[in-house]
Chain A
Amino acid sequence: MFSDPANLTLANMSELLKKREISSEDLTQAFLERIEGLNPDINAYITIDRAGAITAAKEADKRLDAKQGEPLTGIPIGVKDLFCTKGILTTCASKILNNFIPPYESTVTSRLKGAGAVILGKTNMDEFAMGSSNETSHFGVVKNPWDKSRIPGGSSGGSAAAVSAGMGSATIGTDTGGSIRQPAALTGITGLKPTYGRVSRFGMIAFASSLDQAGPMTKTAEDAAILLQAMAGHDPKDATSIDAPVPDYMANLGDGLQGRKIGIPEEYFASGLSPDVARVIEDAKKQLTELGAELVPVSLPTTKHAIPTYYILAPAEASSNLARYDGIRFGYRCENPEDIRDLFFRTRAEGFGNEVKRRIMLGTYVLSSGYYDAYYLKAQKVRRLIADDFKAAFSKVDLLLAPTTPDTAFKLGEKTNDPVQMYLSDIFTINVNLAGLPAISIPCGFDKDNLPIGMQLIGRPLDESGILSAAHAYQQATQWHTRSPIL
């Protein structure tokens, strides 16, 4: 019996599985036991699919025995609970979907399963991915494994905590305004948000359609490369999916940093950054230089407008995306509706949590008659300026380096009553979503309380290889990503 999977990377496990030194069934069993032990405390999973996982693991072992394995065959992972999984409860962490069992499968999970991955269960998240702390879940808060009095970040907080706590070899998250990178940074793991359109959104429950993108949350950049390889690529079921060849991410992983220009956007290092984060990022810059990179100061002047821009556009899209939750075809319905109006109003009021309602209200308002031009249209124009800033910067540099968050994980409950403060914690991540760029967050140090700190590497459109190889080079030279919380 394989007892301690938590210290292995996905790449390690893949190697051991391939050599048949371990079986997928034992590995899966070990993860399930670890999840069952830790979940009552950490709450990283909403649904644990023991039976499905064991069946898939046995299938994977057959393929591995027959030497038909791929890098992901038999690898147990967790999936954020907004990917529709056929026959498995899919809640989006909302009461309004508390009984929804989709009769169809998302492209992401379908591809991962096709590549042999074993789905352990569905990870916790902020309700409809709206939140930065994983405190808005209908299924309870997720705790940060490094300090259980703190938030794990959000919205993919369950996915992040699961990787950090060894409750899965890796997980899949989604990132609309930083929802992969911010929790990755706050839990000391690696999180990749690919270029918008690189990974299909089909079957991924929408928050803000023009910003949402799925990506891997892992221990290392190498693990992220393995997962992205299986997830990426054109999907005819998603009209916004990019029809471009998918490079061999593993083959490019060793490209190194020699001679590459890394832009340092001055606006990301202005006031508001905690001293610990500032110090750690300074160290990382030195490290990157030692690895052969050239640091170049750049400016992204529209950055400071990203928060209002995002908090207009994302809620606007969300207000429309969430109109389908009406208690008629699926999900929660209020009890004994008097008439159709009552059915709509009460189902939605009872089914959605406060943050979701707040954003629906905000989004409805900014689209409503008389305000569209002042808010929505204005924000769309500023979005263009933000994207243009990045274009200009990428004419001079290959990558950008920035902190992922201004500070380390805050205390549970600290900002729940102050939405504006909560929104401001996304300041360094949402630009990337507005511009549709790929970015990775990797661990780069700890603060005085031993809480992890992450940094972002942002790339040109479709240059996932570039940021993965840079992150890999950094991880080859450092140990931050190998640290685990003591549980």
Chain B
Amino acid sequence: MPIDPNYETVIGLEVHTQLRTKSKIFCGCPNKFGAEANSQICPVCAGFPGVLPVMNREMVNMAIKTGLAINGQIKKLSVFSRKNYFYPDSPTGYQISQYDLPIVEHGELFIDLPDEPKKRIGVTRIHMEVDAGKSIHEGIVGASWVDLNRVGTPLLEIVSEPDMRSSEDAGAYLKKLRAIVRFLDVCDGNMEEGSFRCDANVSVRHYGAEKFGTRTELKNLNSIRNVMRAIDFEVDRQIDLIESGDKVVQETRLWDANKNISRSMRSKEDAHDYRYFPEPDLPPLTLEQSHIDDIKAKLPELPDAMAKRFQDEMGLSEYDAGVLTAEKEMSTYFEEANQIVSNAGKKNAKATANWVTVELLGRLNKDGLSIEDSPVSAVNLGKLVALIQTGEISGKIAKKVFAHMFDDGGDPEKIVAEKGLKQVTDSGSITAEVEKVLASHPDQVEQYRGGKTQILGFLVGKVMQATRGKANPAMVNKVLKEKLG
């Protein structure tokens, strides 16, 4: 969205992903969302006196996976540090994080934009850290409550380079990153529940300027749409400030999704001084190359590679391949459906892709549903496409069957059988219907024979009507033409 052609927008994103380990990062408490308050805490995560952190092996492996997936350098030596600050939901008074020696540096990912395919966005670093608890304010008279269940949830902070130039870039980056962590199965990517959180650093500058403008940090962005809206709002705000002779103040701003505005967080009573120093309770983390190689060998297929396979091996368009790999659930759905079609002996990935991207997604979008909530299962959609491919039903009937499946569920084979929708391919009965139609429409027959061949469509329609759509349209065409001479 070119807001003002004289200005260039510069965006960097910091994404916090909660990792799907079984236990917390430094203790054996469960790492699960939604448990009763303080039911998943122990002396270690609750910051009691004398206790010590011990690293979760799987956390490190997930960090390595994510680093490899974004083509980053996995550091053989990384170090945990303490970030010191007081807050009621940070029970130790410091956050164990990585500071000057993170586990991953120099990564990248590629985003697909309509006018700029495969745009590269650098990933500065990925570091491991621990999540904080939650303070609850609303509905409590004269007090706040602290729930420490979330303390100790393993987090990866993924920091991009300031390589994005529009809210669309940012949206595409987040979609791609979310797809990657979900394909890796390290994070569920749920922005609303906070397992995939994004802060945006935004600045503007005149085109051609070398230096970046003063940036602000946007927080409380709980959906990709809100990230994009907040960026657009912020870019407008900054340009307005500059145009009216004011200066942009470096600050943190909170997005209010209800009012579609951001507001400055009241400046803290003191400037941050996190006093980072190496965590004395945790020795440096060293990794063997063989360990990294093992993880690399076991990496699942990632969105970009999968999209390429869909194009190279299945002949899908770049667009379809992109849509089908944008989300893990989407690609899984497509592959499962396509397998059913192949099993029926009628390989036609394009047809399957078409049904998923056009019919299914069209209807899901209309109803505001995601692919996970689809009332039509992948297997059933595959069966439906197979029925078309084998000529059991026509495409037109298929749409009716699909609507039925979407509204009431069910197996398309049964629906077709129960409702008698099976395509009539027997030439005898089609010929009989054709003869009836010709007999009852002598005028149109006359016109056709007189050279007005486009009248054929009308006659086909009449035959289809008479067979309640079940006749194979190709055969109807063929027989009609024969009979009309």
Q: Which residues from chain A sit less than 8 Å from chain B, CB to CB? A: 82-84, 90, 92, 97, 100, 102-104, 106, 201-206, 208-210, 236-240, 316-317, 319-320, 322-326, 328-330, 340-341, 344, 364, 367-369, 372, 376
- In the complex, the chain A residue whose C-beta lies closest to that of B274 is A369
Are A324 and B49 neighbours in the complex by a CB distance under 8 Å?
yes
Sample of 13 further A-B pairs with CB below 8 A, known A240-B280, A328-B146 = A90-B49, A97-B49, A102-B43, A103-B43, A201-B50, A202-B50, A203-B51, A205-B50, A210-B280, A238-B52, A239-B52, A239-B283, A240-B52
The answer to the question of B53 belonging to the interface, with a C-beta cut-off of 8 Å to chain A, is yes
Q: Is the CB of B269 within 8 A of A341?
A: yes
Q: How far is the CB of A329 from chain B (nearest CB, A)?
A: 6
A385 to chain B, nearest CB (A): 18
Partner of B91, one of A203, A206, A317, A324: A324
Q: Is the CB of B48 within 8 A of A330?
A: yes
Which single residue of chain B is at the shortest CB-CB distance from A345?
Answer: B86
A378 to chain B, nearest CB (A): 13
Complex-state Cα separation, A320 to B278, whole angstroms: 11
How far is A201 from B52 in the complex, measured between Cα atoms in Å? Answer: 8
Q: Give the shortest distance, in Å, between A200 (CB) and chain B (any CB).
A: 9
CA distance A376 to B94 in the complex (A): 18
Please name the residue on chain A nearest to B279 by beta carbon: A209
Known pairs A320-B94, A326-B93; A206 contacts B273 (CB<8 A): no
- Nearest CB in chain B to that of A200: its residue: B52
Q: Could you give 26 example pairs across A and B, Cβ below 8 Å?
A: A100-B49, A103-B43, A104-B48, A202-B51, A202-B52, A206-B50, A210-B280, A236-B54, A239-B52, A239-B281, A239-B282, A240-B282, A320-B82, A320-B84, A320-B94, A320-B275, A323-B86, A323-B94, A324-B92, A326-B86, A326-B93, A328-B146, A341-B269, A344-B86, A364-B275, A367-B277
Chain B positions within 8 Å of A325 at CB level: 49
Provide the bound-state CA to CA distance between A344 and B46, in Å: 17
Least CB distance, B149 to chain A, in whole angstroms? 14
Complex CA distance for A238 and B26, rounded to whole angstroms? 11
A364 contacts across to B, CB distance below 8 A: 275
B residues 255-301 in Cβ contact with A at 8 Å: 269, 273, 275-277, 280-283
Most interface-central of B48, B49, B50, B281 (chain A CB within 10 A) = B49
Q: Is the interface of A mostly helix, strand, loop or mixed?
A: loop
User: Do A368 and B280 form a contact, CB below 8 Å, given A90-B49, A320-B82, A328-B88?
Assistant: no
Query: Which chain B residue shows the least CB distance to A343?
Result: B88
Residues of A within 8 A of B47 (CB): 324, 329
With A316-B277, A369-B273: A323-B50 Cβ-Cβ less than 8 Å? no
> Taking the nearest CB of chain A, how far is it from the CB of B304, in angstroms?
37
Q: Are B49's CB and A240's CB within 8 A?
A: no
| Residues of chain B lying within 8 A (CB to CB) of residue A106 | 50
Q: Which residues of A contact B49 (CB under 8 A)?
A: 84, 90, 92, 97, 100, 102, 205-206, 324-325, 330
Contacts of A208 in B (CB 8 A): 280
For window 153-173 of chain B, which residues contact chain A by CB distance below 8 Å?
none
Query: B39-78: contact bitstring with A at CB < 8 Å (1 yes, 0 no)?
Result: 0000100111111111100000000000000000000000
Q: Which single residue of chain A is at the shortest CB-CB distance from B269? A: A341
Q: Which residues of A contact B280 (CB under 8 A)?
A: 208-210, 240, 317
Given the complex, which residues of A lie within 8 Å of B88, measured CB to CB? 326, 328, 340
B46 contact set on A, CB distance < 8 A? 329
Residue of B nearest to A204 (CB): B50
Interface centre among B82, B93, B273 (most CB of A within 10 A): B93
For chain B, the bracket of interface size reads: 20 to 34
If the complex has contacts A103-B43, A239-B54, are A320 and B48 also in contact, measured as CB distance less than 8 A? no
Asked if A203 meets B50 with Cβ closer than 8 Å, knowing A103-B43, A239-B281, A323-B92, the reply is: yes
Contacts between the two chains (Cβ within 8 Å), count: 102
Nearest opposing residue in chain A for B85, CB measure = A323
What is the minimal beta-carbon distance from A214 to any residue of chain B, in angstroms? Answer: 11
CA distance A369 to B270 in the complex (A): 13
Which residue of chain A lies nearest to B43 when distances are taken between CB atoms in the complex?
Answer: A104
Q: Please, how many angstroms separate the alpha-carbon atoms of A230 and B174 in the complex?
A: 54
- Residues of B at the A interface (CB closer than 8 Å) are 43, 46-55, 82, 84, 86, 88, 91-94, 144, 146, 269, 273, 275-277, 280-283
Q: Considering the chains assembled together, what is the distance between the CA atoms of A323 and B82 in angstroms?
A: 12
Which residues of the partner chain A approach B282 to less than 8 Å between Cβ atoms? 239-240
**Taking the nearest CB of chain B, how far is it from the CB of A210, in angstroms?**
4
Pair B275/A324 contact, Cβ less than 8 Å: no
Determine if B50 and A82 form an interchain contact, defined as CB atoms under 8 angstroms apart.
yes
CA distance A299 to B269 in the complex (A): 51
Residues of B within 8 A of A204 (CB): 50
Rounded to whole angstroms, the CA-CA distance of A84 and B50 in the bound complex is 7
A316 to B277, CA, bound (A): 9
What 3 A-B pairs come out closest when comparing CB atoms?
A323-B93, A209-B280, A367-B275
B45 CB to nearest chain A CB (Å)? 11
Query: Once bound together, how far apart are the Cα atoms of A247 and B273, in whole Å?
Result: 46
Complex contacts, B269 vs chain A, CB 8 Å: 341
B27 smallest CB distance to A (angstroms):
9
Task: Give the distance to chain B from A193, nearest Cβ to Cβ, in Å.
Answer: 17
Taking the closest CB of chain B, its distance from the CB of A390, in whole angstroms, is: 20
CA distance A156 to B54 in the complex (A): 28
B146 to chain A: which residues have CB within 8 Å? 328
User: Closest Cβ of chain B: how far from A365's Cβ, in Å?
Assistant: 10
Whether A376 contacts B50 by the Cβ 8 Å rule is no
A97-B49, A329-B47 as given contacts; A240 in contact with B281, CB under 8 Å: yes
Q: Which one of B46, B51, B53, B55 has the highest number of Cβ atoms from chain A below 10 Å of its Cβ?
A: B51
A326 to B144, CA, bound (A): 15
State how many angstroms separate the Cβ of B151 from the closest Cβ of chain A.
11
Give the distance in Å from the alpha carbon of A329 to the alpha carbon of B51 in the complex.
14
Q: Name the residue on A nearest B89 (C-beta).
A: A328
Chain B residue contacts of A340, Cβ below 8 A = 88, 144
- Interchain nearest-CB distance for A237 vs B (Å): 6
How many angstroms between the C-alpha atoms of A115 and B448 in the bound complex?
106
B82 cross-chain contacts in A, Cβ below 8 A: 320
Q: In the complex, what's the smallest C-beta–C-beta distance from B142 to chain A, in angstroms?
A: 11
Bound-complex Cα distance A100 to B93 (A): 18
- Closest CB in chain A relative to B23 CB, distance in Å: 14
Could you tell me the distance between the alpha carbons of A92 and B82 in the complex, rounded to whole angstroms?
23
Distance between A110 CB and nearest chain B CB, rounded to angstroms: 12
CA distance A102 to B51 in the complex (A): 11
- Residue among B47, B94, B273, B275 with the most chain A CB within 10 A? B275
Rounded to whole angstroms, the CA-CA distance of A100 and B269 in the bound complex is 31
| Contact call A323/B84, Cβ cutoff below 8 A | yes
B84 and A102: CB pair below 8 A? no
A313 to chain B, nearest CB (A): 9
Contacts of A236 in B (CB 8 A): 54
Establish whether residues A320 and B277, one from each chain, have CB atoms under 8 Å apart when the complex forms. Answer: yes
In this complex, what residue of B is CB-closest to A377?
Answer: B277
Which chain A residues border B92 with CB–CB below 8 Å?
323-324
A239 contacts which chain B residues (CB < 8 A)? 52-55, 281-283
**Distance, CA A206 to CA B44, complexed state (A):** 13
Question: In the complex the two chains form, what is the Cα distance from A445 to B283 in whole Å?
Answer: 41
Of B50, B275, B282, most buried by chain A (CB within 10 Å of CB) is: B50
Q: A323-B86, A344-B86 are in contact. Are A368 and B273 (CB under 8 A)?
A: yes
Q: Which residues of A contact B93 (CB under 8 A)?
A: 320, 322-324, 326
Q: Which residue of A has the minimal Cβ distance to B55? A: A239
Looking across the interface, which residue of chain B has its beta carbon closest to that of A83? Answer: B50
For B42, give the chain A residue with the smallest CB separation.
A104
CA distance A322 to B94 in the complex (A): 10
Contacts of B52 in A (CB 8 A): 201-202, 237-240
Shortest Cβ gap from A7 to chain B (Å): 35
Residues of A within 8 A of B50 (CB): 82-84, 102, 106, 201-206
Q: Which residues of B contact A84 (CB under 8 A)?
A: 49-50
- Taking the closest CB of chain A, its distance from the CB of B269, in whole angstroms, is 7
| CA of A210 to CA of B47, assembled, Å | 18
A203 nearest CB across to chain B (Å): 5
Collect the chain B residues with CB atoms within 8 Å of residue A203's CB: 50-51
Cβ distance B82 to chain A, nearest Cβ, rounded Å: 5
